[in-house]
């Protein structure tokens, strides 16, 4: 198992965790269900941690793929930049989630609902960011999507 395999195995977790967490938090708000709120927050935390692993394995995977024919370096760079923004968004959501878990324990339900709304908005942002990073990652190996958008690949090793 190499870094590219690990990256492909883990990189879907942040996206689906963010989408599922947003759904759980929406239902928690509608039904005023504290258990669903906590489940959504924990899922956000898991998504943030998985995003860190995906980012770290992505750097190593890049080195394996940068000279593979048909792989555009520009597509890798675009994915990497959007992934860094998505990871930051997920980590901010995870931090807010920790604050909400502690706050609901200390201050009760009034804090819970205001914080849940803020967290729901943060999750929606992270879903958008992770979906964008995922889409750009898919373009790395799907050259048919990149036609007319990028220059031809230059997969020649540096001879400097």
- What is the number of other CB atoms lying within 10 angstroms of the CB of residue 119? 24
- What was the pLDDT predicted at 81? 94
- What was the pLDDT predicted at 132? 92
- What was the pLDDT predicted at 116? 74
For the chain, the 3-state helix, strand and coil shares in percent, each to the nearest 5, are 80, 0, 20
- Cα separation of 8 and 70, whole Å? 18
**What CA–CA distances, in Å, run from 67 to 4, 17, 18, 24, 149?**
14, 32, 32, 42, 20
What distance lies between CA 60 and its chain's CA centroid? 18
Can you list the domains of the chain with their CATH numbers? Answer: 3-146 (1.20.120)
Q: What is the pTM of this model?
A: 0.75
pLDDT in tens, the chain (160 residues): 777 788 888 988 988 988 888 888 888 878 878 788 888 888 888 988 999 999 988 888 888 877 778 787 888 899 999 999 999 888 888 888 888 778 777 776 666 666 677 777 778 878 889 889 989 988 887 554 445 555 555 555 555 5
Q: Is 67 helix (H, G, I), strand (E, B) or coil?
A: coil
- What was the pLDDT predicted at 27? 86
Yes or no: say if 51 and 130 are a contact pair by the CB < 8 Å rule: yes
- What was the pLDDT predicted at 145? 47
Measured in degrees and rounded to the nearest 5, phi and psi for residue 88 equal: -60, -45
Residues 70-80 have pLDDT tens digits of 787 888 899 99
Q: Is 92 helix (H, G, I), strand (E, B) or coil?
A: helix
């Amino acid at each position: 198992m190499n870094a590219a395999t690990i990256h492909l195995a883990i990189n879907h977790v942040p996206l689906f965790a963010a989408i599922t967490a947003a759904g759980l938090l929406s239902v928690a708000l509608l039904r005023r269900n504290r258990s669903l709120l906590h489940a959504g927050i924990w899922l956000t935390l898991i998504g943030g941690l998985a995003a860190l692993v995906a980012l770290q394995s992505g750097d190593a995977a890049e080195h394996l793929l940068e000279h593979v024919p048909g792989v555009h370096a520009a597509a890798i760079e675009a994915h990497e930049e959007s992934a860094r923004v998505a990871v930051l968004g997920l980590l901010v959501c995870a931090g807010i989630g920790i604050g909400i878990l502690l706050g609901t324990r200390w201050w009760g339900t009034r804090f819970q609902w205001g914080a849940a709304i803020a967290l729901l908005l943060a999750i929606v942002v992270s879903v958008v960011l992770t979906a964008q990073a995922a889409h750009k990652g898919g373009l790395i190996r799907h050259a048919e999507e990149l036609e007319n958008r990028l220059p031809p690949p230059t997969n020649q090793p540096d001879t400097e």
